Amino acid sequence: MARYILGRVLSLILVLFVVSVVTFFLMHQVPGGPFDETKAPLPPAAKQNILRKYGLDKPIHIQYLNYMKNAVLHFDFGIPYQQPTTTVTALIAKSWKLTVQVGAMTVILAFGAGFTLGIYAAYHQNSWIDNATTFIAMLGITVPSFVVAMWLILFFAVRLKWLPMGGWNASGSCLIGNDFICTDWIMPVVAYALGPLAIIARYTRASVVDVMRQDFTRTAQAKGLGSQAIMYRHILRNALIPMVTALGVIVPNLLTGSIFIEAVFRINGLGRFFVTSIFNRDYPMIMALFLLIAFLWSMTYLFTDILYTWIDPRVRLGAEGGA
């Protein structure tokens, strides 16, 4: 296991290096620049001073080496051109806090509700529960999250006036009953979670139905084991493997933010910087965001590989066999 984790850490470093090279050189090939003169022409001397300040007057390979030296040795990802009064690290830390809050609650809701609905649908095939789960799954997969967000706003905010239009912790009071829950959290999380919830419900239903039809499940039933024992010892443990696979795909996307959800509900999270940094040719922000995404994807896949061995002891890592 230790040898396997060490190998994955080394591969993570290689992945980050490749992502940094590809991202750095491709973003410099896009027409235009961070100080494009089409809107506000600059005197040549002023433009040269700005380029010199940010090191953009040097050859591209020198720019890359300087950037990586600062990023690796000093954990300094530069100054964002959009907000030169702060640093990229500080800006990401400030905005990512909101994105992680939204993403974490979305993961809990999507996996909790999706897993539960999938199990109930599998145990009540062709019933109204199964049909309702199928309808929710189709709705979540086919309808974009920003459309769901608009529906929620029109119904719960405009017509019923139960929930605020948007924002994050903007309602002031976050007390409902005996639990601390901000009302402006509800619609963003529900709209963001519907898509992953639908995918997880479909994965769970299909996996549980498949495990229920396996010979070892029928053997356990023939031996007279109780339904709860069969559920926890055989069905759920084997049905969790596809869920771990879904976890590795869905979680990194949720934790890096949704452009549409954050725009619709006016959440100043990390998602909106994916678009603004590209449009503004904000090279330091682009590099930091892509490296962050690559890091999250790599760590999530490492975590899911380790979970495989816990869920299914037949799976072995490293030199013992293939995962």
Q: What is the mean pLDDT of residues 80-85?
A: 84
In this model, does residue 287 exceed pLDDT 50? yes
pLDDT tens, 114-172? 888 888 888 888 888 888 888 888 888 888 888 888 999 999 888 888 888 777 765 44
Give the number of residues written for the chain.
Answer: 323
CATH of domain 96-268: 1.10.3720.10
Q: What is the mean pLDDT of residues 20-46?
A: 78
| Confidence (pTM) | 0.76
pLDDT, the chain, mean: 80
Higher pLDDT, 310 or 138: 138
pLDDT at 178: 40
In this model, does residue 321 exceed pLDDT 70? no
> CB neighbours of 142 closer than 8 A, spacing ≥ 6?
none
HSE on the CB side for 299, CA within 13 Å? 10
Helix or strand holding residue 175 (H, E): strand 175-176
Torsion of CA 177, 180, 182, 183, to 10 degrees: -20
Q: What letter represents residue 109's amino acid? A: L
Place of tokens 């009953």: 177
Give yes or no for a contact between 82 and 239, defined as CB atoms under 8 angstroms apart: no
Q: Where are the alpha helices (DSSP H) in 54-87?
A: 60-74
Domain boundaries, the chain: 96-268
pLDDT tens, 237-281? 777 777 777 777 788 878 777 778 888 888 888 877 777 888 888
